[in-house]
Amino acid sequence: MKSRKLLRDLAKQRFWNLYHIAFEEAEKGNFQRASEIMRSAFKIAKKGGYKVPRYAKRSVCRRCFVPLIPGRTLRVRIRNKGIPTVVRACLNCGYVRRYPVASVEGTEGKTISDEAHGPHREERLERSGAQRDKEAT
């Protein structure tokens, strides 16, 4: 059991070391090298049983594994038609990813999966509806 935890900790350390090196390479403009480093970092994490955090996954293109740096390798747009959505496009390969933005009060800036589907959802929705009713009167 200890060896499994040790392996996971080692995979975590190696992942984050490679992650930072890949971002440094991408900032220098060496996107091919950054992509190779990032791909190996994700392989190490997977083999070591380390669950990569969501923010780390979202900072890398899912298609070409280039670190996403706004303005250099990433274009961010906000669409307000229908459901407000953040549209992120990789400037290296053109991969587009869309993230819906929550419309429940008190959750500005968070995605729907972060807040709206958590525990006590009905209570939150009732509270936000009651607050809107008080503000309207």
91 in Cβ contact with 74 (< 8 Å): yes
CA-to-CA distance for 114 and 117, rounded, in angstroms?
7
CA-to-CA distance for 26 and 68, rounded, in angstroms?
9
27 is in an annotated binding site: no
60 is in an annotated binding site: no
93 is in an annotated binding site: yes
113 is in an annotated binding site: no
Any idea of the CA torsion for 73, 67, 26, 87, to the nearest 10 degrees?
10
- The binding site for Zn(2+) consists of 61, 64, 90, 93
- The binding site consists of 61, 64, 90, 93
